[in-house]
Structure 1
């Protein structure tokens, strides 16, 4: 029952890294962590993000299993992976072309400025939304879900695979939260610098991640 779990984790690992490298959840985690008493609210954000990733990957894994049970062919599943890979690469190129330049690149979106005083439930909802209602995240999650559902046939290893994917995808958003909880005020200057760097280059990071991991998804489909 568990024999294929390691293989599946190895195959979806690049997609999980793609989710982990998504800059917006990391930026949100840094901003909330830097706010007064932001530790608890930042934990809520990370919890919402983890649940959002679980829902996305779990839904696609379930749909993939249902499709396989209904007699769907591996060729069709592979074709879906190809379409996802192409969509990610196209979206990455468009994101690169539309990236802000000059002074515009240093201006954070208005929603980021409101995060310092966000409530715990709102932080949880934001974390969930950034994972479950984000086109880029959906593409990564769909690719992983199709792989998991098309390979694993029993519930326990499927649940374990989805949880492992979500844990890998959430680790970067959790890192600044843990840093603040452990390091306290000593870590604030480093997080301030990280925040400024991410604001300047978030679109560029997103574009590179989408193109790179879209290519990974395509290569795995033909491998």
Structure 2
């Protein structure tokens, strides 16, 4: 019985610790403050909750502010906002773009929307295969950024760095997000190994046009 328990614990540690260590290794040296972020073509903002009135939640607003700072500082030339628009009554990408344009003054031609970024894996795959992104600065909260960097590197071969939003205190939401990473990183391995196909469709020229816009 004791051997069984020890063996089970060992397998659990391996199953959870292995993906965690892999993500940490693939993101090593790629996380920077806005001021230190190397120049990339595009900032990719991962979606998060939008309030019923269409305004971004505090965590999503933090991500968008970082992306706007990257654009204003000249470290990126366009912004891809990727999120959930699976139902008629819920639209993360359009509300993300509206905030960047109306509240932060980013030119509308420089913000491209991805309506099928249902999770981190989907956003990474679609950024490369649908929007043709090869060079990007990823923007999300610090606890999520490590997995985002690892996923984008393993799925699309993109040249990515990351700039985290650290404006939020370690409140209950932050700790909930951090605790979810154990399971989420295990799912990351499954998605990458199985090459799960997200919602795709035809290639879009939005990013190419945004990079060419003045």
TM-score between both structures, scaled by the size of structure 2? 0.23
Query: Greater share of helix residues, 1 or 2?
Result: 1
